[in-house]
Amino acid sequence: MTVMNNLSFILNRSHDVEFAERPIPKLSSPYNVLVGIDYTGICGSDVHYWDHGAIGHFVVRDPMVLGHESAGTVVEVGSEVETLKPGDRVALEPGYPCRRCEDCLAGHYNLCHKMVFAATPPHDGTLTGFWSAPHDFCYKLPDHVSRREGALIEPLAVAVHIARQGQITPGASVVVMGAGPVGLLCAAVSKAFGASKVVSIDIVQSKLDFARGFAATHTYLYQRIPAEDNAQAIIAKCGLGKGADVVIDASGAESSIQASLHVVRMGGVYVQGGMGKADITFPIMGLCQKEVTAKGSFRYGAGDFKLAVELVANGKVNIKQLITRVVPFEQAEEAFKAAKGGDVIKILIAGPNEGVGEFLKA
């Protein structure tokens, strides 16, 4: 018989981590399921907590399990769960709202002030053996979609939400500032939504080379010149005429944000998806004179995970291309170091119970 454990990767404080057994979660609701975690991706926020012990006012004061980009195998279901069964492979949506406040009832549950989100203090994350979750926040993977792909549904859902905020329509021109994982996925979703021109911008040529083979129709290597000059060069090189219909900033860099407002056309849409400094110098005159629609984007909302799964299932987004390598659970800290170093696009950590699905079928 296979012995299953709840070994967890725990952050005590900045750069102080340990592996320890935690109790296997109990189903606290008849609508919950217990999932054995198979694979977990590393997000920039995970690295930030590991590196600094805090993000803004979210401070790691007690030991916290890291991780929130995960897929796994259902091992137990509550008495009221009808849509899932043991052995089903699922992508996890790692944040659970109250379902009762005005934002939740209006369909904007990502704005819920009582959100419980994995690996956001004081809540534990998914770099563990088992995870208990509401069944409706677990998305069944089609047979031809792997568990490794399932671990990347979470960042893809972020990109879906950003693209929806941008109201991208067929034939649109879209510029994406930043060619990190989320920026790459924003480009891919834009293309899947029908954008005819998708421009990826970054300061690293190798990232742009990858972007061109992944989803971008055009690329531009951002220069150390004024933001407005970069914007003019982007428009000229990529044939954007009077500017792009939609500009997405997935970098959070001040210069990139400034250039975005100079790249977007009159009456266009600008979406801020990347997080950077709390306060920056912003070209507000350009925003006003162009009558630009500016939107923020935070995590994901109703239907975003479902659409993300469908985009992978129907081949619109080849998410497997983003996986640089997979490491065993015991090498989790090495994976964090690699993610911080920037020499990977996406590195996955196999869960301590990876393969539990095969055990359940035996």
Q: Express each pLDDT in 12-46 by its tens digit.
A: 999 999 999 999 999 999 999 999 999 999 998 99
At residue 356, the pLDDT reads: 54
Using DSSP bridges, classify how beta strands 54-55 and 58-59 pair: parallel, antiparallel or unpaired: antiparallel
DSSP H helices, the chain, are 44-52, 102-105, 147-150, 153-165, 181-192, 205-214, 227-237, 254-263, 284-289, 304-313, 332-341, 356-361
pLDDT of residue 56: 85
The mean of the pLDDT values for the chain is 95
pLDDT in tens, 167-183: 999 999 999 999 999 99
Question: ∠ CA(144), CA(155), CA(267), 5° rounding?
Answer: 120
Residue 60 forms part of a structural domain: yes
Domain span at residue 213?
A: 162-296
Question: Is there a single domain that holds both residue 107 and residue 211?
Answer: no
Whether 70 maps to a domain, the answer reads yes
Q: Would you state the pLDDT for residue 310? A: 98
Provide mean pLDDT across the span 273-301: 94
Position 3 scores a pLDDT of 53
| Residue 155: exposure state from Cβ atoms within 10 A (0-12, 13-18, ≥19) | buried
Number of domains in the chain: 2
**Structure confidence at residue 276 as a pLDDT band (50, 70, 90):** confident
Backbone angles phi, psi at 232, to 5 degrees: -65, -40
- Separation of alpha carbons 100 and 308, rounded Å: 25
Which value, in Å, is the radius of gyration of the alpha carbons in the chain? 21
Q: For residues 110 and 132, state if they share a domain.
A: yes
Q: What pLDDT sits at residue 358?
A: 47
Do 242 and 111 lie in one domain? The reply is: no
Phi-psi region of 16 (alpha: psi -120 to 50; beta: other; left: phi over 0): beta
Same domain, 18 and 75: yes
Residue 342 and residue 291 in one domain: no
What CATH number does residue 283 fall under? 3.40.50.720
Q: Would the pLDDT of 2 be above 70?
A: no
pLDDT digits (tens, 9 = 90+) for 223-256: 999 999 999 999 999 999 999 999 999 999 999 9
Q: Give the largest Cα separation in the chain, rounded.
A: 68
Taking the model in full, what pTM does it have? 0.95
The predicted pLDDT at position 318 comes to 97
- Mention every residue, 6+ apart, whose C-beta is less than 8 A from residue 190: 163, 166, 168, 172, 174, 176, 198, 215, 246, 248
